[in-house]
Amino acid sequence: MKGLLFLCVANSARSQMAEGIARSLLPDGAPIFSAGSHPTQIRPEAIAVMREIGIDISAQRSKSVAEIPLQTVDTVVTLCAEEVCPVVAGDVRRFHWGLPDPAATDGSLTDRLVAFRTTRDELHRRIGVFLASAEVSGSPPAQAAPLVDRSPDDDILKRH
């Protein structure tokens, strides 16, 4: 894998958490990016729930796709569910993981944090499987712990 880009609309929650998780799982200096079609600002709930698992994303910022050095990217993962996902032109591998936006959760701080944790945990699971797959690395998958909650209809490596 040359470079990995996580995309959503606001680049405030899902893609920010995905960038942080991927950075924690890959060697230092690996080209990992996140961006949005309409960037806003990183959500404090995203920073908080990532800190709970020892990943600090507080220095990250919301970015436009135009700010990403796309010549260094060969894999794009879109994370939109209910919104229209941004599109990146070019010869890249494309994957779509339609995850609900935790930033859209109404209710108390507790309710919002539960939504962010759910998304964080699902992203962590999917990214772990994704990075261990031969589809990404070009080599046989590394020996990894089995996934307990993997459902047969959850094809996280599905290309779009």
Quick one: which of 97, 110, 116 has its CA closest to 57?
A: 116
Query: How far is Cα 153 from Cα 160, in angstroms, rounded to an integer?
Result: 16
Which among 80, 123, 129, 156 is annotated as catalytic? 80
Residues 6 or more apart in contact with residue 146 via CB below 8 angstroms: none
The 10 Å Cβ neighbour count of residue 81 is 15
Retrieve residue 27's tokens: 């060697």
14 is catalytic: no
Query: How far is Cα 107 from Cα 105, in angstroms, rounded to an integer?
Result: 7
80 is catalytic: yes
44 is catalytic: no
Query: How far is Cα 130 from Cα 34, in angstroms, rounded to an integer?
Result: 16
CA 134, distance to chain mean position in Å, is: 19
Which among 85, 115, 129, 131 is annotated as catalytic? 85
Which among 4, 5, 8, 49 is annotated as catalytic? 8
CB 150 within 8 A of CB 91: no
Catalytic positions, written as ranges: 8, 80, 85
